[in-house]
Amino acid sequence: MRRKTEATRQRIIDAAYECFWRAGYTRTSIDTIAERAGLTKRTLYGYFRSKDDLLAAVMAHHNALAGARLKRIGDRMPRERDGLIESFFGQLAGWASATPRWSGSGFTRLVIELADLPGHPARMLARRVKATTEEFLVGKLTTAGAADPAARACEIMLLLEGAMALTLIHGQRRYIDAAASAAKRLAAPAQKRAARTR
């Protein structure tokens, strides 16, 4: 076999990411990944011992990409509470509408696909990515002066995941808009929330 190179390794990871994202983990074969990467299956196995090993590398790479994406999202968000929530969900809506065949969060879909394998390394990586997003929201909400930022961030994560799932099911942005509206109500000061429910 030819000498291993970082460029070839990355090519395999990129091809696997595309395949896993589009078809899911179980429906993607090593043959499909090798074909997409323009390599032989033997070459692919020279870099990764198994599909699980390749998935772990894909998830670690995507984790780094997700961190960079969170920074870009944060850079566009105003500091004011309602504005940052509108921006957060607005950027989600933009991602969904601008991506052909948008299929929601790859991390969420993967964990659902591997639901019967609680110790799978991909699930641990997905948990880490979601926790990073929640911590990001805690920081933004703290800066914006929201009451109990950790609780609000947890609620917004629930709204985020629900909005993505329902947008995927119905193909309508209104679930993202509804999630943003609910998040603003939840993040409002206690007296303002009470006034809105009267």
- Report pLDDT digits (tens) over 112-170: 888 888 887 778 878 888 899 999 999 999 999 999 999 999 999 999 999 999 998 99
**pLDDT band, residue 190 (cuts 50/70/90):** low
Say what the pLDDT of residue 108 is. Answer: 83
Say what the pLDDT of residue 192 is. Answer: 57
In DSSP notation, 68-130 reads: HHHHHHHHHS-SSHHHHHHHHHHHHHHHHHHSTT----HHHHHHHHTTT-TT-HHHHHHHHHH
Say what the pLDDT of residue 101 is. Answer: 77
Dist CA 138 CA 156 (whole Å): 10
- Same domain flag for 40 and 63: no
- Same domain flag for 93 and 66: yes
- Same domain flag for 67 and 135: yes
Please determine, for residue 1, whether its predicted confidence score (pLDDT) is greater than 50.
Answer: no
Q: Which CATH number belongs to the domain containing residue 126 in this structure?
A: 1.10.357.10
Which range of residues forms the domain containing residue 9?
Answer: 1-49
- Same domain flag for 130 and 83: yes
Q: Which CATH number belongs to the domain containing residue 7 in this structure?
A: 1.10.10.60
Helix crossing, 51-76 with 30-37: angle to 10°? 60
Report pTM: 0.79
- Same domain flag for 57 and 18: no
Q: Does the CA dihedral 161-165-171-175 come out positive or negative?
A: negative
Q: Is the distance from CB of 124 to CB of 109 less than 8 angstroms?
A: no
Q: What is the pLDDT of residues 59-87, one digit of tens each?
A: 888 878 888 889 999 999 999 999 999 99
Burial grade of 159 (CB within 10 A; 0-12, 13-18, 19 or more): buried
- Same domain flag for 37 and 60: no
Q: What are phi and psi of 163, to 5 degrees?
A: -65, -40
What tokens were used for 119? 């110790």
Q: What is the pLDDT of residues 80-111, one digit of tens each?
A: 999 999 999 999 999 888 877 787 887 788 78
- Same domain flag for 90 and 8: no
Domain total for the chain? 2
> Counting every residue, how long is the chain?
198
- Same domain flag for 95 and 160: yes
Please determine, for residue 2, whether its predicted confidence score (pLDDT) is greater than 60.
Answer: no
- Same domain flag for 59 and 96: yes
Say what the pLDDT of residue 194 is. Answer: 47
Nearest Cα to 126, choosing from 144, 110, 147, 115?
A: 110
- Same domain flag for 175 and 78: yes
- Same domain flag for 190 and 118: yes
- Same domain flag for 38 and 112: no
Please determine, for residue 193, whether its predicted confidence score (pLDDT) is greater than 60.
Answer: no
Say what the pLDDT of residue 31 is. Answer: 96
Of 2-16, 26-40, 48-62, 111-125, where does mean pLDDT reach its minimum? Answer: 111-125
